[in-house]
Structure 1
Amino acid sequence: MTAALGAHKAGRRRLFLPFFLPAVSLYVLFLLVPTIATVVLGFTSWAGAGDTPRFTGLANFGELLASDSFRFSFLNTVLYIVVGGVGTFLLAFLFTMVLRDMRGGKTVRAILFFPNIVAPVALGMFFGIVLIFRPNRQGLVNYVLESFGIDAVKFLAPENVTWVVTGCLIWASAGFYITILMAAVDRIPPYLYEDADIAGASPWQKFRNITLPLTWDVIGVAGVLWTIGAIKIFELVFVLAGPGTYSPPIKSWTLGVYVFDRSFGTAGSPEYGMACAAAVVMIALVSVLVVMLRRMMRRDSVQF
């Protein structure tokens, strides 16, 4: 018996490297090396192929801080993460409370998840058509507003588009997080809710005292996923804020749009050094937010 167990462990050790090395190699090649290269290039001035990177120290980051476009990009990105996250999770929690006891809840859950599988570019085009301001040929929303005697609204104007994108983002993303939270709710023993019903607990009391504590770990993971995804917002902004243009107005930019513009939207030579510096800020921002979120969500696990 001991010999067989030893042979089994030896076989597992022999299989470790053949399975481990390919995965680690791909991770290093396609994630770690590009990340390190981005950080290094963030301290240089580089115009791309044919140009030699020149070390400039912190000059790129100083230029970022002095740039209006970068400030708009940074603040808009933080707004999407915070306001969009709060709105998305409030909507997800609301539907979690409703769908748990609802007949046909799984079907509704699948319908709510549908926008998440649609490409962001397609969503942007859809909302662009619905929200467009065009006298005598209004989009659907403005057509309805004018039908009730309300003046049409320039939803996609630079000063409004950030809030429109936030609303679109909440609508498109909520289904994904509803699905995650509902999967966590499904593992909660039903007798806990039955006991709460017998005690006369309200839906809010059941959510606060049963659902929330027993899904806290899943909520923390979902929060991290949201933060990582929201910091990369690009397509919705680019399609809604800049239809027919090469780059949207700077008041609507995000860090993703800023990186794109410094890479491909500059007049003349690209500024890859600046783009990499902005990408470094993105990496630092998401790292800080994820660490803060994990510390805020840290709690002793509840056994059930």
Structure 2
Amino acid sequence: MATVTAPAEGRTSSAGAHLSRKKRLFFPFFLPAVTLYVLFLLVPTVATVVLGFTSWSGAGDTPRFTGLDNYGELIASDAFRYSFLNTVLYIVAGGVGTFLLAFLFTMVLREMRGGKVVRAVLFFPNIVAPVALGMFFGIILVYRPNRQGLANYLLESVGIDAVKFLAPENITWVVTGCLIWASSGFYITILMAAVDRIPPYLYEDSDIAGATPWQKFRHVTLPLTWDVVGVAGVLWTISAIKIFELVFVLAGPGTYSPPIRSWTLGVYVFDRSFGDQGAPQYGMACAAAVVMILLVSVLVVLLRRLMRRDTIQY
């Protein structure tokens, strides 16, 4: 039986028409996304950078160019130094603690029966609003003679003096612990999703070779999830640099800025914009926001370079 084939010219014409239709659909889908990106991200970012070189107190005032004066004032400000150092501490100490806990649970949950249920339970704190978490920990950690919070009540019940957990000199470490507790479930979920894609025979071979759990983690789990660990590190850096609610609720009364020793860059920007120090200083707030952008950009680039490795095929 003879087979009739479509002429090559007909196939070429059909492919060309299909490509033409795709091109016509490109801009209707592309332009709205670009427009929203420009209006709500690019323009505010550029405006923030420009206003960082001005003195401006908001509506009714004309921005006045001051050059690098705002940045010089930031460097000389105790409040900004506390804010910057506390933010870096949350990123580094909180990140190390979160990932150590996440790795520990990853090693345990991989071989644990019912691990998926436990993983879901560990994720629950991540879906609670940070303000609610702050109020919860505030009730537990409050120092109030004769009406102590749960933590101090337990300490006093075993003969240990109550601790002022929420004092300005202690609040940074308390917030760090709260962040680790609340965030670990999210990163456990991410890392466990990466572990689930590792072929089981690699662990079976390790068992036959007599590898310890640590050796299996070091030589199998970590290398094969390294790319996911890098992405998780970037996510942590971006989220940690924006810490605001926990500090504001735990360290302050919730109606005005807490003591400067507990500030983060987010609290500093808020205080200069809406704080109780008098007229708003939007120029200073924008300068601090620019520092936040630069800090997260530098840290993300460094992290990506440090985490860069050749992809392992399996």
Q: Same fold (TM over 0.5)?
A: yes
Q: Is there any run of 5+ residues in structure 1 with no aligned partner, and where?
A: none
Q: List gaps (5 residues or longer) in structure 2.
A: 1-10
Aligned partner letter, 1:286: V
Deviation at 1:267, TM superposition (A): 2.9
Does the 8 Å contact 2:55/2:281 carry over to 1? yes
Tell me the distance in 2 between the aligned counterparts of 1:281 and 1:132: 33
**Aligned-partner Cα distance in 1 for 2:254–2:45:** 32
Q: Which residue of 1 aligns with 2:157?
A: 147
Aligned-pair CA distance for 1:3: 2.5
1:192 is aligned to: 202
Q: 1:92 aligns with which of 102, 108, 119?
A: 102
Match of 1:42 in 2: 52
Query: 1:1-304 to 2 correspondence within 5 Å?
Result: 1-243=11-253, 245-304=255-314
What is the rounded CA distance, in whole Å, between the counterparts of 1:256 and 1:227 in structure 2?
14
User: What SS does structure 2 have at the residue aligned with 1:79?
Assistant: helix
> Which deviates more, 7-16 or 17-26?
7-16
Query: Residue deviations 1:249-268, cap 9 Å, x none?
Result: 00000000000000011432
Q: What secondary structure sits across from 2:242 in the alignment?
A: coil
Q: Provide the C-alpha distance between the structure 2 equivalents of 1:217 and 1:11, rounded to a whole number of angstroms.
A: 37
Q: Which amino acid aligns with 1:110?
A: A
Q: TM-score, normalised by structure 2?
A: 0.95
Deviations 1:33-55 (A, max 9, x none): 00000000000000001100000
One-letter amino acid of the counterpart of residue 209, structure 2: A
RMSD of aligned Cα (Å): 0.8
Distance 1:104 1:231 in 2: 35
Is contact 2:256-2:276 (8 Å) kept? no
Listed one character per residue, the Cα deviations across residues 113-147 of structure 1 (whole Å, up to 9, x for unaligned) are 00000000000000000000000000001001101
Number of corresponding residues: 304
| C-alpha distance in 2 between matches for 1:40 and 1:183 | 42
What is the deviation of 1:240? Answer: 0.2
How far apart, CA to CA, are the structure 1 residues paired with 2:30 and 2:211? Answer: 51
The letter for the 2-side match of 1:276 is C
Shift of 1:6: 2.1
Asked if the contact 2:248/2:254 (under 8 Å) is kept, the reply is no
Q: CA–CA distance in 2 between the matches of 1:157 and 1:126?
A: 17
The separation in 1 between residues aligned to 2:108 and 2:56, in whole angstroms, is 54
Task: From the CA coordinates, give the structure whose radius of gyration is larger.
Answer: 2
Structure 1: distance between partners of 2:18 and 2:228: 35
